[in-house]
Chains A and B, each alone.
Chain A
Amino acid sequence: MQNGLTLFSLGQIAGYSMKKRLQGRIIKDGKAHGIALVSPEPIGFLGGVDPDTGVVIEPGHPLEGECIAGRILVFPTGKGSTVGSYTLYRLARNGLAPAGIINAESEAIVAVGAIIADIPMVDQVDISQIRSGDVVSINGEVVTVG
């Protein structure tokens, strides 16, 4: 979280051209706004994310130790057990769900999880355009970075 915020403010100071508009495909319609947490690897929610803390606990995962609560969670695709849909629901009930989800290519586990947990989600987005710490908005199928 702290790293992300620092990166963002440096970007502003340096006067980078901040706004990037990416087009995706709606999986769960909605609006979300937050700071990106980007994983280069797929995420499995059952056993991969602690539903009572929101922290990624899969050993060796690039996001191990990071809290996904309130972030715009960006990752290529889902993996692991289908029960992972319910983990997303439980995170939401605990107030620890990501604010939004962006995938390169969606699959059933995360898609169903986003729907039952009411998390806005888009896929078919060029996720290489997003870095951890970027401020990201999701509005329907449009993703705005910066």
Chain B
Amino acid sequence: MEVEMSSETPRAPNARPSGAPGWVAIPAPLARLFKKFPLLTYPPNELPARSPSARDVATLYVFISNEDALRGLPSFNPSCLKWQAFLKLSGIDFRVVSSNNHASPSGALPFLIPPSSANAPSVCTPIASNKLEDYAAQHGTSNVPAAPDFKQETYESFLSYQIRNAWLYALYLSRPNSALLSQLYITPVSASRVVRTTILYQLRHAAETEILKSMGVPAVNSDALYRGAKEAFGALSAVLGSGDWFFGDASPSLFDATVFSYTHLLLDDSLAWEDRALTDIVKRFPNLVQHRDRILQICWGSKT
């Protein structure tokens, strides 16, 4: 008996294929039952209310409140506003939709979904912000000066370094502006106090890390940040001079849009800045204020 038993074991793998049809074949009653499925087919769900209704227009996903998005107003996030203004300046027709980082394929806003035409409905790959300049060059109507000269490249470091760091401090770390911060980024996310506190902590921590990383110093010093921003805005004002646009261009460029994205948000009366240090700095340079008004006029008419 023992041998018989053990002789079964090595044979088992061989036995399975030979008996396979018996196992795989579905018994007739079950097969009949399965053939009755699906018993009922529901109509497809309706698309969510916020999903794009008109797909023939490009859609830019930005940080913005839902009401402002419907009216196409400026975003409250500098990097979103920069591209929003730039696309408007280059004459592209698009809608804005309120979104957040989690919705973005690259993890950062803004991104653009180009219009899908009827003959190629599948071509709607999202365009990340670093490709938007090319997109605008291909699809835009007005010619935006592109070729950045060396001077522009050096002045860009003001925007990505001094002004950006001061902005991060003013919005995220400066305690008087907590109310504004939570109004913009925290209240829309959740109603739960625990979630809000966590997000506030995470945002502050991320902003602090970002500042420290870019400056290579171990502590955030607000005086130094504001002093740097003041010097940077002063230098921008000096290089703008009495011209309409930066670096003597005939029409506004991406650089103008980037400067606008900060100056507009600092001068916008609808944002309740409590710590007005940066706002006061910008107001000291009338030509920067006029520059902002000029772009606001072009992109959004007179409404603010």
* A, B assembled together: no
Residues of chain B at the chain A interface (Cβ within 8 Å): none
